[in-house]
Amino acid sequence: MLEDKKMMITDENGKETEVEILFTFEGENGKSYVLFHTLDNQEDVYAYSFNEEGNLIEIETEEEWNMCQEVLAAFEDEELIDE
């Protein structure tokens, strides 16, 4: 479902939310990551790792969070340059 850059996620209460994928990347640790925001709030960006089946996995370490924040900052810088 990456073609249209949208996907549905389901929270622990069973509530479904449509989100827009900003980008995916593979970290130096070999894990795959996805960064996205909800359609009604584009200011808050969420980051998760995901497995081969596409299941989202919460980020567990401060190192992973820092890496995602660095990649997001580079992405935002590139978006500003492209405008």
Q: In whole angstroms, what is the distance from residue 3 CA to residue 69 CA?
A: 24
- Domain boundaries in the chain? 2-82
pLDDT in tens, 18-59: 999 999 999 989 999 999 999 999 999 999 999 999 899 999
Pick the CATH number of 2-82 from 2.60.40, 3.40.630, 1.10.10, 2.30.30: 2.30.30
Do residues 67 and 75 lie in contact, with contact meaning Cβ atoms separated by under 8 Å? no
Residue 1 has what pLDDT? 39
pTM of the predicted protein model:
0.83
Do residues 10 and 16 lie in contact, with contact meaning Cβ atoms separated by under 8 Å? yes
